[in-house]
């Protein structure tokens, strides 16, 4: 990759890889001589971890007020940077503006991957054979992993607004899907029934997703892809 400046290179990486976390030296500036992290805040929703080289408390406060998610002063060890990245990614998913499953074509929840482009479901790398309706039901739930979907929600999403018939057709297809997922999920429940309300992704799967995201950080401080996302390291040498 070539770019006119380090700042331009960082912006290209941020836009190309959609990293979970950007680690930025506060001394870096954009093309308009303003701090690069302020510019990145306006063009990306990735978490921003800023490294403040002067060690000034007031400067760190201003950095946080300018939109950074965390700030730390030099000297700082790689282990502390990794730990701070892990802490950012452990924040509840609904608080994160950068992770928008409604817009994703590949939805990853820990070991579960729903690839809408290839129309595939995978769990721990193994493919789950699902019908079109089963796939669409799981996709709907995974796009809103912290919400409960009622039968009416699923009927409208999968069968369309003009569906006429027994709403328990949803239960039949979800039962078949659960049986297929149970064969590969090693006793982990994927879909949880909220009695009298509807269905949602289980807490077990959401917890596994958070754990995998957290434990994967030390290996992804480089601009590289992991199973759960990418982190672009914008630290200057």
Is 70 exceeded by the pLDDT of residue 26?
A: yes
Strand order in the sheet with 224-226: 70-73, 47-52, 21-25, 229-234, 224-226
Domain 6-99+209-234, CATH class in plain words: alpha beta
Spatial separation of the C-alpha atoms in residues 111 and 185, rounded to whole Å: 9
Q: What is the DSSP letter of 223?
A: B
Digit-coded pLDDT (tens) for 92-140? 444 444 445 555 678 888 899 998 888 899 998 889 999 999 999 999 9
Instruction: Record the tokens describing residue 22, joined without a space.
Output: 């950007």
- Output the pTM of the full model: 0.51
Q: Which residues make up the CATH 3.40.50.2300 domain(s) of the chain?
A: 6-99+209-234
- Average pLDDT over every residue of 219-227: 31
Instruction: Please tell me which residue, 202 or 125, carries the higher pLDDT value.
Output: 202
Q: What are phi and psi of 235, to 5 degrees?
A: -70, 135
Predicted local distance difference test score (pLDDT) of residue 171: 92
Task: Say if residues 52 and 64 touch (Cβ distance below 8 Å).
Answer: no
Distance, C-alpha 20 to centroid of its chain: 7
What is the topology classification, in CATH, of domain 102-201?
Arc Repressor Mutant, subunit A (1.10.10)
pLDDT at 203 over 60: yes
| CATH 1.10.10.10 intervals, the chain | 102-201
Return d(Cα 93, Cα 108) in angstroms, integer: 13
């Amino acid at each position: 990759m070539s770019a006119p400046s380090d700042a331009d290179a960082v912006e290209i990486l941020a836009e190309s890889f959609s990293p979970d976390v950007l680690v930025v030296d506060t001394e870096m500036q954009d093309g308009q001589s303003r701090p690069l992290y302020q510019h990145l805040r306006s063009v990306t929703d990735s978490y921003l971890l800023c490294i403040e080289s002067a060690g000034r408390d007031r400067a760190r406060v201003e950095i946080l007020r300018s939109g950074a998610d965390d700030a730390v002063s030099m000297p700082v060890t790689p282990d502390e940077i990794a730990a701070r990245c892990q802490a950012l990614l452990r924040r509840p998913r609904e608080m994160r503006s950068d992770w928008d499953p409604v817009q994703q074509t590949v939805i990853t929840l820990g070991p579960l991957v729903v690839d809408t482009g290839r129309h595939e479901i995978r769990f721990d790398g193994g493919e789950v054979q699902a019908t079109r309706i089963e796939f669409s039901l799981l996709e709907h739930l995974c796009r809103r992993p912290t919400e409960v979907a009622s039968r009416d929600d699923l009927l409208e999403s999968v069968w369309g607004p003009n569906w006429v018939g027994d709403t328990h057709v949803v239960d039949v297809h979800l039962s078949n899907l659960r049986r297929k997922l149970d064969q590969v999920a090693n006793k982990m429940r994927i879909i949880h029934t909220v009695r009298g309300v509807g269905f949602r992704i289980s807490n077990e799967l959401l917890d596994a997703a958070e754990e995998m995201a957290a434990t994967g950080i030390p290996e992804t401080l480089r601009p590289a892809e992991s199973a759960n996302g990418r982190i672009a390291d914008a630290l200057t040498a």
